[in-house]
Amino acid sequence: MLPPDMDCSIVIVGCGIAGLGAARRLAEHGFSRIRIVEAKGRQGGRIWSRSFAKGLIEMGAQWIHGPSKQNAVFQLASRYNLLDEMAMSEENQAVEVNGRPPAVTSCYTSSGKRIDPELAVSVEELYSTLIQKSSDFFQSGTEPVQNLGEFLKCEIAQCAEEWKDDKEVCNLKLALLNTEIKIEYCISGADSLDLLALHPFDEYTALPGIDCTFPGGFKTLIDEMMKSLPKDIVSFNKPVKCIHWTDSFKTPGAPEGSCSVQVECENGEIIPADHVIVTVPLGFLKEHCETFFCPPLPPSKINSIQKLGFGTNNKIFLEFEEPFWEPDCDLIKLVWEDEYPLKERPPDLHKVWFRKIFGFIILRPVERCGHVLLTVLAGKEAIFMEQLSDSEVKDCLMQLIHQFTGNPLIPPPKNILRSKWHSDYFTKGSYSYTEVGSSGDDIDIIAHPLPPKSSKLQPLQVLFAGEATHRTFYSTTHGALESGWREADRLRDNYLNDVSKTPNYKT
Ligand code: 6YU
């Protein structure tokens, strides 16, 4: 607990899981003058559960990736008792899935044929081996290949040379591998695997445990976090325009010890603070970092913000009256027979955007979700899809379903709902990835607080949290939550370690 005369005012920009995590941890440390300023009219940010069909669907984060003891979201969800028995079982927590949970899959070709499940499983296994090899390759320090796309192209070409199957089977295997790669786009969020830097790709850490969801929606976690905070701590619909730091706004003769940061809101309101924790998405920072801070951020930080990747991943949910899939099926994969891995994509997106779709995930359990299929689309195609109408998207997906299942009589869905994360002004995409030319060091540079330690100015005026500031768990909710905790602890440590230099902020 902090001595009362050391309490200071802290503004957190953004009410996603990083901002909420920071606020809660600060309150636990004894800080009492905390305020969260959020641009939108709701909490949660990229955690956004909405009503659809029989229950709730997730427009953003859906799964706890690697639900096991080291996962901060899992820890918190368990404490609030938000998960079901299966997710809580020791057995579930121990399974190593490397980011790809097991699923009962049906694979269909573009000529409407079902692929032999054994062949499909063997190609899935081959793909997992290649991804594992990319990590071993990085660890061995071998240099020439820089991106995941290039690495996979070489590896797949070598494998194909060794296949003894007839040409038709070889082509089918390549087409199946291509579908695996489309899933990889959705996992990474990147437009192309050629953009994914190989070295830092390996720094991302997958935790053990079979991915699980929240029975009451991810929002139940956000609701609990909100409940644990003092009332009225969040100001909604209050976009921040600029953060003035380094006393830049102070007039000569301003009283000693007054706040060194000012948060200027779009509505003209000015909120003075001793510390500001910025949790806005990297997509927003990329577009606004030149004007969002006054004085501007140091060039090294701007450079890292621009180098790190921020992809777009969009979801499309379809609700059907009756299922056309088999009862035990978790995943329907679409395999285009005329495609092979990492083939150059044609530029005319309006004709081909839907080819980036890997297939459909069946939401479970049916009693809670209804008969709902989810598809995910990444990159340029996802951005293009945002400008189409619901009926254009629905018609296009139905054409795919008819073509691949070979059944033109499947009736259209009753409802459609989709995300448009790229058009979201305060997000501008879905999550970060380490783009070629960037590395884990850029993530650390973005996370460094300002002013730098070497400066004589009041330290820790501006701190940075959010998924894109976590070196090993970037792109996830647990990474975001840990980053909020990290910055709250940084502030606490600063006060506890350096009492002599701490001004009395209450003057
Ligand atoms: C996870 C999952 N998941 C799908 C999709 C998306 C994401 N993620 P926030 O944005 O939440 O909060 C910032 C707030 O700031 C926000 O409210 C803004 O409105 C506000 N703001 C902005 N500007 C402002 C201003 N000027 N003034 C005031 N306020 C302002 N994560 O764990 N499981 O299943 C998925 C998925 C479609 C879009 C996800 C998933 C990512 C998480 O949603 C995300 O990281 C956190 O919610 C971010 O929280 P935050 O607080 O930082 O920001 C190998 C390898 C590669 C590594 N990749 C592995 C893939 C793992 C990711 N998988 C994702 C998959 C899905 C389906």
* Nearest Cα to Cα of residue 50 among 326, 466, 418: 418
Dist CA 321 CA 374 (whole Å): 15
Query: What Å distances lie between residue 139 and 133, 142, 152, CA to CA?
Result: 10, 8, 16
Q: Whose CA is nearest to atom 52 of ligand 1?
A: 466
Q: What is the pLDDT of residue 500?
A: 46
Residue 455 pLDDT: 85
Nearest atom within ligand 1 for CA of residue 421: 38
Ligand 1 atom with the shortest distance to the CA of 467: 52
Give the model's pLDDT for residue 2: 63
Ligand 1 neighbour 382 (Cβ under 6 A): no
The finding on whether 214 has its CB within 6 A of some atom of ligand 1 is no
Report whether 220 contacts 205 (CB < 8 A).
no
What's the CA angle centered on 242, arms 236 and 244, to 5 degrees?
A: 120
Q: 3-state secondary structure string, 101-145?
A: CCCCEEEEECCCCECCHHHHHHHHHHHHHHHHHHHHHHHCCCCCC
Q: How far is the CA of 380 from the CAs of 24, 185, 353, 384, in angstroms?
A: 37, 11, 8, 6
User: At residue 93, does pLDDT exceed 80?
Assistant: yes
- Residue 147 β-bridge partners: 197
Cα distances (angstroms) measured from residue 234 to each of 37, 80, 148, 182, 400: 6, 21, 41, 39, 44
% of the chain residues with pLDDT over 70: 92
Residue nearest atom 39 of ligand 1, based on CA coordinates? 61
Residue having the nearest C-alpha atom to atom 12 of ligand 1:
16
Stretch 449-473: mean pLDDT, rounded? 93
Amino acid at 64: I
Sorted by where each begins, the domain ranges of the chain are 4-48+216-309+428-495, 105-205+313-418
**Per-residue pLDDT tens over the stretch 154-213:** 999 999 999 988 999 999 999 999 999 999 999 999 999 999 988 766 688 989 999 999
Pairing of strands 313-320, 309-311: unpaired
Task: Say how many Å lie between the CA of residue 475 and the centre of ligand 1.
Answer: 7
Ligand 1 pocket residue status of 182, Cβ below 6 Å? no
User: Which pLDDT belongs to residue 251?
Assistant: 67
| Tokens 């990590």, located at residue | 135
Fold agreement between 4-48+216-309+428-495 and 105-205+313-418: no
- Residue 252: per-residue pLDDT: 67
DSSP 3-state of 21: helix
Determine whether the shortest distance from the Cβ of 13 to ligand 1 is under 6 A: yes
Tell me, which fold does domain 105-205+313-418 have in CATH? Answer: Polyamine Oxidase; Chain A, domain 2 (3.90.660)
Phi, psi of 362 (to 5 degrees): -95, 120
Q: Which atom of ligand 1 lies at the shortest distance from residue 46's CA? A: 11
* Ligand 1: residue whose CA is nearest its atom 41: 476
Q: Counting atoms of ligand 1 from 1, which one is nearest the CA of 241?
A: 26
**Range with the lowest mean pLDDT among 202-216, 246-260, 280-294, 360-374?**
246-260
Strand partners, 376: 315
What pLDDT, on the 0 to 100 scale, is given for residue 103? 82
Residue in this structure with the two tokens 């000529």, named with its chain if needed:
111
Residues 6+ apart with CB under 8 A from 199: 138, 434, 439
For the segment 299-317, the average pLDDT, to the nearest whole number, is 97
Predicted confidence (pLDDT) per residue in 111-164, tens digit: 999 999 999 999 999 999 998 888 776 665 555 678 999 999 999 999 999 998
> Pairing mode, if any, of strands 415-418 and 313-320?
antiparallel
Averaged confidence pLDDT in the chain: 91
CB contact set of 372 (below 8 Å; sequence gap of 6+)? 52, 53, 57, 317, 318, 319, 320, 362, 363
> Under DSSP, is residue 224 helix (H, G, I), strand (E, B) or coil?
helix
Whether the pLDDT of residue 290 is over 90: the answer is yes
50 contact partners, CB below 8 Å, separation of at least 6? 56, 57, 58, 59, 417
For a mutational test of ligand 1's pocket, the pick from 147, 421, 463, 476, i.e. the residue with the most ligand atoms closer than 8 A to its C-beta, is: 476
Q: What is the mean pLDDT of residues 209-232?
A: 96
DSSP letter for 204, please.
Answer: S
d(CA 268, CA 386): 32
DSSP characters over 398-414: HHHHHHHHT-TTPPPPS
pLDDT for res 3: 64
pTM above 0.85, yes or no: yes
Are the C-beta atoms of residues 8 and 33 closer than 8 Å to each other? yes
pLDDT tens digit sequence for 239-260: 999 999 987 777 666 666 678 8
- How many Cα atoms within 13 Å fall on the side-chain side of residue 233? 28
* Beta pairing partners, 432: 310
**431 C-beta closer than 6 A to ligand 1:** yes
pLDDT for 503 equals 39
Residue 468 CA: nearest ligand 1 atom is 52
Structure tokens at 24: 């809660």
Ligand 1 centroid to 432 CA: how many Å? Answer: 9
Ligand 1: centre distance to CA 46 (Å): 4
Q: Which atom of ligand 1 is nearest to the CA of 279?
A: 13
CA distance 264 to 283: 20
Taking residues 350-368, report their average pLDDT.
94
Gap between the Cα atoms of 182 and 335, Å rounded: 10
| The pLDDT value given to residue 135 | 75
**How many whole angstroms separate alpha carbon 405 and alpha carbon 201?**
35
Pocket test for ligand 1, best of 277, 291, 477 (most atoms within 8 A of CB): 477
Percentage of the chain modeled with pLDDT above 90? 80
Question: Which region among 188-197, 225-234, 250-259, 416-425 has the lowest average model confidence (pLDDT)?
Answer: 250-259
Atom of ligand 1 nearest to the CA of 475: 45
List residues bridging with 371 in a β-sheet: 320
Task: Return the residue whose CA atom lies nearest to atom 36 of ligand 1.
Answer: 61
Residue 344: pLDDT band (50, 70, 90) is: confident
Question: Could you report the per-residue pLDDT of 42-61, keeping only the tens digit for each?
Answer: 999 999 999 999 999 999 99
For domain 4-48+216-309+428-495, the CATH superfamily is FAD/NAD(P)-binding domain (3.50.50.60)
CA 257, CA 239: separation in Å to the nearest integer?
A: 27
pLDDT of residue 376 exceeding 60, the answer is yes
pLDDT, average across residues 24-41: 96
For residue 388, the model assigns a pLDDT of: 98
Q: What is the pLDDT of residue 202?
A: 63
